Structure 1
Amino acid sequence: MNFTIREKITEQDMENFFRSCLETAKNTNDFHYTSLKERHFEKSEEEIFELFKEEIVESFDFDRPDCKIFMLDSEQGEFAGYIWMGIRDSEDVWDFEKPLWIYDISVQPEFRRGGLGVKLLERAETFAKELNLNIGLFVHAQNTGAINLYKKCGYQVKCVPISKYPETRNIPQSAFHVEAHEKISEIESEIQTFGVEKFKQLVEFTAESTEDRIVERYHEYWQKNFKNDGNHSIFVARDDSDKIAAFVWVGEASFNERIAMNYDFAVCTDLRQGELEKQLIKIAENWVKKKEFSRYYMLLHVKHDLSLETCQELGLEAPGYFMEKKLK
């Protein structure tokens, strides 16, 4: 069977798109869908659909030139799927440019396992190349079929959002002395000199930049986010010669005052994936618990000194993965 990929043009295209989006939200237990159901438990499924559609329209400008929805049609004219993309609205500190973002991709159940997902991805990548951008997406951890497809098409895991409910940890004895700082002025120059070398690796995963610009971005990140209000702390591990061996910066998340976030973490290369990493995360978690934050969160880059395996050993959970493909 032959299929055609084209831009959305009709009201029926958008109706098919929104209904398929809703099915994806249901199947992935999407937060926006579940919260909508909780707030409007008395509504019918059709009423929920209309509310879901309204929320998408209000939160996204479909008239932007970088926004595209490509529809997939069978040769009989049946709706077979779509891919929705636009330049990503949010930006992580290590990103010096925003990628074209695949917000959703879907193939109708009766048309799956025929390579159509790959064809939709190829069409999206063509558009990304026209914009001279890399391309990225988020995939839920339980969607192993999609993860394997993306990897097969050249997408790499870039970063992983992980979190847990904080608990009080026992801290074992260590060869390193750990000190706490709640004022950035106490340690700013020393800690940023140590951390910027690690930060370069995160930036260079996606794009090239000058060393001066990388250093400037790193310093801006600290100045913008570190608050001398008691709701941020830096835990520094030093060796016998008083040199920094590792540090973790944890504080109130900029997006939610009830959540504590790991803003930065760095450890000497020869000490990676050892007990020092676990010790610092446990110390940070104890601080989070003491401050009565409801959740301990970090966005873990694959080039971070802290490994996903170590975090999972400590009970942090990953709902999914941010993946990216270089096209430039």
Structure 2
Amino acid sequence: MCCKMNFQIRKADTDADWDFFFKLGFETLKALPSRKSMYDPLIEKNPDASDEEISKLYRKETEEFCDFEHPDSRVFIADTEEEVPCGYLWMGMRNSKDAWDTEIPQWIYDIVVDSSFRGHGLGRKLMQQGEDFARELNLNLGLFVNADNAPAIVLYEKMDYHIKQVPISKKLESINTTGSLDDYFSIREEQEADAVFIQTAELERFTRKVRFSSKADDNISKKLYEEHLEKFAKEKEKHQRLIVLTKEGVFAGSIWVGSSGFSEEIAMIHELVIDPAHYSQLIGNLLIDSAEKWAKNAEFSVIYMLLHAEDNVDLDFFKERSYKVPGFFMEKQLKS
């Protein structure tokens, strides 16, 4: 680095600001392999469109996705001392809420620094501006980072962001069982008499997930868990609960698999609990094998799980089972 560069960060306001934001966003969309899944559909739907026309479609879809006029939405523009725009940060309320979240967090949807200005600390400066805005709203700040974006992950960890959740998925093209029952364990469908015990074990884990981001008391955690359970109660035919017992009938683990609720083709592992006294890869394989088999028989093509930091399950365990890990949901606790 030959010299220090100074930058100013400000809220996007003028037409020129918005033109810069969408132009750099589209150029980044085209250039990064990690954004291929967003760029390719634009091309596939409009095979005869020019690059300029695709750029306008990108802008239109982005404006439809985000209400940039919302008071909790911000686009910050970075300028050089010569007032040349060189990067941006786009943030707003997250467009979804997980079962264990007491409120919707602020979300960094995108952060881009023009390639000519990288290596001068601008990414960190933009992040700090975003954190200041989240503090004004008294909300935690979250983001998604691709698994292969090592520099960004290092930056976020240095800024005290922690991995909160990992979305993992697997195509159910074939089922290869990796666990086998022995004389000590048995696995079966949940029975009515099991419900209280299983839900007590799930609630304990669920409460830890709630408290990862919030200082919520037991009553709030229980209320959120009961709302979570309604998915199972309303559509039992689309869900399955399985339980592993020792030969003495002692609970060793359970799994709840069923409809994801966001795609008819995707099954979701909603809860996975393994009793610490029986924690082993054998129990994990038995439960996951059974969940995958049920999902395949129910004609789902993909199985998905949002693995939480409090699940205490080794990510490598799922990778060995051919689950894909596209990236990580990270969060910084800023709420007072």
State the TM bucket, normalised to the shorter chain: over 0.9
Partner of 1:176: 185
CA contact (8 A) 1:273 1:306 kept: no
Q: Which runs of 5+ in 2 are unaligned?
A: none
Letter in 2 for 1:163: S
Please report the TM-score for the alignment, with normalisation by the length of structure 1: 0.95
1:20-169 correspondence runs (5 A): 20-26=24-30, 27=32, 28-166=34-172, 167-169=174-176
Matched, 1:16 2:15: no
CA contact (8 A) 1:266 1:306 kept: no
1:125-274 correspondence runs (5 A): 125-166=131-172, 167-170=174-177, 171-174=179-182, 175-181=184-190, 187-274=194-281
Structure 1 stretch 251-260 or stretch 28-37: which is displaced more? 28-37
Partner of 1:295: 302
Q: Deviations over 1:179-212 (max 9, x none)?
A: 024x8x5643232112111111111111111112
Deviation at 1:137, TM superposition (A): 0.4
Q: Supply the distance in 2 between the matched residues of 1:177 and 1:257 (Cα, whole angstroms).
A: 31
Please report the TM-score for the alignment, with normalisation by the length of structure 2: 0.92
Q: Supply the distance in 1 between the matched residues of 2:277 and 2:324 (Cα, whole angstroms).
A: 26
Deviation at 1:228, TM superposition (A): 4.2
Q: Which of 305, 314, 336 does residue 307 from structure 1 map onto?
A: 314
Q: Supply the distance in 2 between the matched residues of 1:152 and 1:22 (Cα, whole angstroms).
A: 28
Deviation at 1:83, TM superposition (A): 0.5
Deviation at 1:108, TM superposition (A): 0.4
Matched, 1:285 2:292: yes
CA contact (8 A) 2:9 2:79 kept: yes
Q: Which of 4, 11, 23 does residue 7 from structure 1 map onto?
A: 11
- Tell me, what secondary structure is at the counterpart of 2:213? coil
- Tell me, what secondary structure is at the counterpart of 2:132? helix
Deviation at 1:226, TM superposition (A): 4.6
Q: Deviations over 1:27-58 (max 9, x none)?
A: 12343322122111221111111111101111
- Tell me, what secondary structure is at the counterpart of 2:62? helix
Deviation at 1:294, TM superposition (A): 1.2
Q: 1:288 to 1:259 in 2, by over 3 A?
A: same
CA contact (8 A) 1:161 1:321 kept: yes
Q: Which runs of 5+ in 1 are unaligned?
A: none
Q: Supply the distance in 1 between the matched residues of 2:277 and 2:118 (Cα, whole angstroms).
A: 47
Structure 1 stretch 206-215 or stretch 20-29: which is displaced more? 20-29
Q: 1:59 to 1:155 in 2, by over 3 A?
A: same
CA contact (8 A) 2:139 2:334 kept: yes
Q: Deviations over 1:90-138 (max 9, x none)?
A: 1001111222110101110010011110110111111111111111100
RMSD: 1.6
Q: 1:228 to 1:76 in 2, by over 3 A?
A: closer
Q: Give the share of equivalent positions with the same residue, in percent.
A: 39
Partner of 1:325: 332
Q: Supply the distance in 2 between the matched residues of 1:20 and 1:65 (Cα, whole angstroms).
A: 23
CA contact (8 A) 1:169 1:286 kept: no
CA contact (8 A) 2:181 2:286 kept: no
Tell me how many residue pairs correspond in the alignment.
Answer: 326
